[in-house]
Structures are given as C-alpha cells and as structure tokens.
Amino acid sequence: NAGVTQTPKFRILKIGQSMTLQCTQDMNHNYMYWYRQDPGMGLKLIYYSVGAGITDKGEVPNGYNVSRSTTEDFPLRLELAAPSQTSVYFCASRPREGLSDTQYFGPGTRLTVL
C-alpha cells in the first residue's frame, strides 16, 4: 500500500507556462483534495472531489483546474503559471464511509514560478 503519491517532487516553471501535478491513491478512497501551503501559513483548500466525475471548488480555486476520471487519480492543472502560485501542493484522500474526517496526505510537490 503506497497510500497517496504525488509527482513531481519539485518543479520550476516560468511565468505563463502550464503543468499538471499528479496525485494517485491506492486506498480506494472516494474523497480527494488539493491543498496549497504558503510559507508560514496553514494549508488552504484548492479543489476537492467526492468521486469520479464530480469536483468542487475550495477556498482558493482561481488559476487551477482539476478532473477526476478515476477513483485513483486526481490531477491538478495550472494553465498560466504566476509567481503567486509558488507554493507547496499537497494532495489528500479519505474514505467516504465512517465517522472520521481524517485525511491522508501525500508528500507534496514544491513548485516555484519565476
């Protein structure tokens, strides 16, 4: 069981470039999330998904897009990178069933936009 995996670990982009951050989980979790963490700040929710084909915006969705074609994968797309998107991005997942809201996080992708 690998849990939640993210690729790449690091990336440097130029302003205006695009990229996709990959996230995969092998726990058969229905719910998946994308957060960003800026220096000295807590994590902020970008987008989330309750299942394949269903996504919704979080607190800071501007400049990002997501898709969920399978239970396992939840990629995050940056279309026109801006310096304000320099951050560490975390993907997380949790099962739908049960009382716990515990989310399981991937190791993160550190993105720098220059």
Partner 1 sequence: DQQVKQNSPSLSVQEGRISILNCDYTNSMFDYFLWYKKYPAEGPTFLISISSIKDKNEDGRFTVFLNKSAKHLSLHIVPSQPGDSAVYFCAASLYSGGGADGLTFGKGTHLIIQP
Q: Are 66 and 81 in contact (CB under 8 A)?
A: no
* 76: number of Cβ within 10 Å: 21
Give the range of 11-19, 27-35, 62-70, 74-82 binding partner 1 by CB under 8 A: 27-35
Positions in 33-92 near partner 1 (CB under 8 A): 33, 35, 40-45, 48, 50, 56, 58-59, 90, 92
C-beta separation of 47 from 62 below 8 A: no
* Choice between 26 and 59, CB closer to partner 1: 59
CB of 44 to partner 1, least distance (A): 7
Residues 6+ apart with CB under 8 A from 7: 21, 22, 109
Instruction: Look at residue 95 and give its three-state secondary structure.
Output: coil
What does the per-residue mask of binding to partner 1 show for 93-112, with x meaning CB under 8 A?
---xxxxxxxxxxxxx----
DSSP 73: B
Q: Are 45 and 35 in contact (CB under 8 A)?
A: yes
Residue 4 interacts with partner 1 (CB under 8 A): yes or no: yes
Write down the least CB distance from residue 16 to partner 1, Å. Answer: 28
Q: Which residues bind partner 1 (CB under 8 A)?
A: 4, 31, 33, 35, 40-45, 48, 50, 56, 58-59, 90, 92, 96-108
